[in-house]
Structure 1
Amino acid sequence: MIDASSPTRPTALVVEDNVTVGQLVKFVVEREGLDVTLASDGRTAQQLIESIAVPAIVILDVMLPFIDGFQLIGIIRERVQWKHCPIIMLTAKSQEKDIVRALDAGANDYMMKPFLPEELRARIRRLVKIPA
């Protein structure tokens, strides 16, 4: 876990339109020592991508209002500063074509809902290089 007393804790951008799921993901991510910026739709996420510092990781739903998660991957990967930011897709879309589409677009990992919180933590640690 990252030292919570650090003056500049790493951040995560979580994009999830379901309030309950968003709060659960926020809780899980915070347990890994990251501060969380939460967006509830694709438009808000795009505005954040254009205005905030690059986070340590992005966790994206696919089915979002205004701009979907697939489009957001493209927006993220087009920005030079964000190009190497790890992205985990966390979605109810479980078809192979959706998984392949996300990975081909530039996502680093793909998890399906319902998800196991400890599995999400492990995947975050792997991508952000947080010791277990």
Structure 2
Amino acid sequence: MTGSDRSGADETPHVLLLEDDDSLRRLLRQKLEASGYETTALADGRECWAYLSTEEPPDLVLLDVMVPGLDGFRLLGRIRNDDRLEDVPVVVVSARAREEDVLEGYDLGADDYVTKPFSPSALVARIRQLLS
């Protein structure tokens, strides 16, 4: 069975969200949950890595770059170098919109890179596409 196979139609996809801005984290969590996703929302990169290291891998990770603890790019590198997590889709969501930042995200293995500000509805559509 591959990671994209679902054992049951009632299984809710799990999204791990790393965002240090409280209001944006709450907004994204509400939008994701209203769209049918189980969501774990964290604000610190080290806390996120601890979660990824000890819990069942999520179906997708939404990753802000500029967060306390362990920045999103370093975290993305760790995800892509971990056998348990290497195939989990990662969407970088960042205010770092310079071309070199976007390219760094893709070079590190991001599946998508969304720059702030963005439409939460469009982000959910991108997530749906990645998980289909």
Considering the TM-score relative to the shorter chain, is it more than 0.5?
yes
Give the Cα separation in 2 of the matches to 1:16 and 1:52. Answer: 19
Give the Cα separation in 1 of the matches to 2:84 and 2:35. Answer: 23
| Structure 2: stretches of 5+ with no match in the other structure | 1-8
Give the Cα separation in 1 of the matches to 2:33 and 2:93. Answer: 16
The answer for the alignment partner of 1:93 in structure 2 is 96
The answer for the alignment partner of 1:37 in structure 2 is 40
Give the Cα separation in 1 of the matches to 2:21 and 2:107. Answer: 25
1:69 corresponds to 2:72: yes
Normalising by structure 2, what TM-score? 0.89
Q: Could you say what secondary structure the match of 2:56 adopts? A: coil
1:46 to 46, 49, 56: 49
Give the Cα separation in 1 of the matches to 2:118 and 2:106. Answer: 18
**Structure 1 residue 32, shift from structure 2 partner:** 2.7
| Structure 1: stretches of 5+ with no match in the other structure | none
* Aligned amino acid, residue 39 of structure 1: L
The answer for the alignment partner of 2:127 in structure 1 is 124
- Residues 5-20 of structure 1 aligned to structure 2 (within 5 Å): 6=10, 8-20=11-23
* Aligned amino acid, residue 104 of structure 1: D
* Aligned amino acid, residue 24 of structure 1: L
Q: Could you say what secondary structure the match of 1:80 adopts? A: coil
Q: Is the 8 A contact 1:91 1:111 kept in 2?
A: yes
Identity %: 35
Q: Which runs of 4+ in 1 moved over 3 A?
A: none
Normalising by structure 1, what TM-score? 0.89
RMSD value, Cα? 1.2
Q: Deviations over 1:87-125 (max 9, x none)?
A: 001111110000000000000001111110111011001
The number of residues matched between the two structures is 124
* Aligned amino acid, residue 28 of structure 2: V
